[in-house]
Amino acid sequence: MAPSILGIHHITAIASDPQKNIDFYTGLLGLRLVKTTVNFDDPGSYHFYYGDGAGSPGTIITFFTWPGARRGRHGVGQVTSTAFAVPFGSLTYWEDRLRTAKVEIQERSGRLGRPVLSFLDGDGLSLELIETENPDVHRVWTGSSVPEYAAIHGFHSATITAADAEPTVSLLKETMGFTATGQEGNRLRLEVAAGGAGQTIDVLTLPSGELGRVAVGTVHHIAWRTPDDAQQLAWLELLDRAGYNVSPVMDRSYFQSIYYREHGGVLFEIATDQPGFAVDEAVETLGSALKLPSWMEPQRSIIEQVLPPIHRNQGVTV
């Protein structure tokens, strides 16, 4: 049986100041900090995971924090925008909330029949809120200061920018099981599994677009959901046969991952739904303590000295 992709698992971007990142995503956007850990490949920097109350795959935006690092550039070969699903009719609430917080609003527009609010986080990361009919009510964090009628319900989609969309679209369609479901100008929409919020990716073609540069304020990679270890191994074999340079399976504590770069330049990951974020702390206290993988525990005191202090502000408007 062919392995399946269930949608977006998480999107990982780069931030500068860890505290400002927490304040923006929990205090302002109303996501829950579901895991406080370090970058497993660079334990001197934080890795924050934000999502719904349970940390469900498909709701998770994550950040590596690089204080003092330079800003990147949005462009070709990147995920250039990350869109969250919000309930129908809630964009006016959000526009007011973001303007009050002096967030840089880019535009309020429409895309494939849906209202979109585009804005930047404090590091210049491009975000969108897209009004979505019947968003999944299970993908929400009710403990925030955002009222439930406006709360973020996981991802809507993400946008990949390519100079030539063909190799990216071909991988998504021919190998990963996506179907093209819409087009608007130079934007092609593809959906996977049942489609809809969290199972949608747009590929934007900019033939003479400048190459992006991954640093602060840009997306580092996008991860796709697969149900379990067996399907992930099947993906590894299948992508290897298709000529992609696929990493071995990596233990990320909360999921298992493989990585490969698509021909348009975007780093893709396939991550398992299991075991999830409740594997090392209770759902009630997700994110409240610094969690380290077992192999880093002997260095905990050194790591804690290197990391800048943070306070978590769960549920508080900042």
Q: What are the residues binding Zn ion (CB under 5 A)?
A: 12, 223, 269
Q: Which residue, 27 or 72, is less far from Zn ion as judged by CB?
A: 72
Q: How far apart are CA 318 and CA 311, in angstroms?
A: 12
CB closer to Zn ion, 121 vs 269: 269
Close Cβ partners of 102 (under 8 Å, ≥ 6 residues apart): none
Q: How many CA atoms lie within 13 A of 74 on its CB side?
A: 17
CB of 269 to Zn ion, least distance (A): 5
Element (H, E) at 168: helix 166-170
Tokens linked to 206: 């900019």
E strand or H helix that includes residue 231: helix 229-241
What length does the chain have?
318
Least CB distance to Zn ion at residue 318 (A):
26
Least distance (Å) between residue 64 CB and Zn ion: 10
Task: Kindly tell me which of 142 and 253 has the beta carbon lying closer to Zn ion.
Answer: 253
Does an H or E element contain 181, and which? strand 179-184
The CA-CA-CA angle for residues 318, 26, 48, to 5°, reads: 130
3-state secondary structure of 97: helix
Q: How far is the CB of 223 from Zn ion (least distance, A)?
A: 4
Cα–Cα distance for residue pair 56/154, rounded to 1 Å? 9
Looking at beta carbons only, is 162 or 219 nearer to Zn ion?
219
Which residue's CB is nearer to Zn ion, number 86 or number 171? 171
What is the rounded CA–CA span in Å between residue 150 and residue 153?
Answer: 9
Neighbours of 274 (CB within 10 A): 14
Least distance CB 67 / Zn ion (angstroms): 21
- Copy the structure tokens of residue 279: 């594997």
Q: Which residue is nearest to Zn ion (CB)?
A: 223
Q: Measured from the CB atom, is 128 or 269 closer to Zn ion?
A: 269
Per DSSP, the residues of 70-95 read PB-B--BTEEEEEEEEEETT-HHHHH
User: What's the min distance (Å) between Cβ of 97 and Zn ion?
Assistant: 28
Q: Tell me the C-alpha distance between 272 and 4, whole Å.
A: 11
Cβ at position 41, least distance to Zn ion in Å: 11
Nearer to Zn ion, 52 or 269 (CB): 269
Residue closer to Zn ion by CB (options 98, 171) is 171
Question: Shortest approach of Zn ion to residue 246 CB, angstroms?
Answer: 14
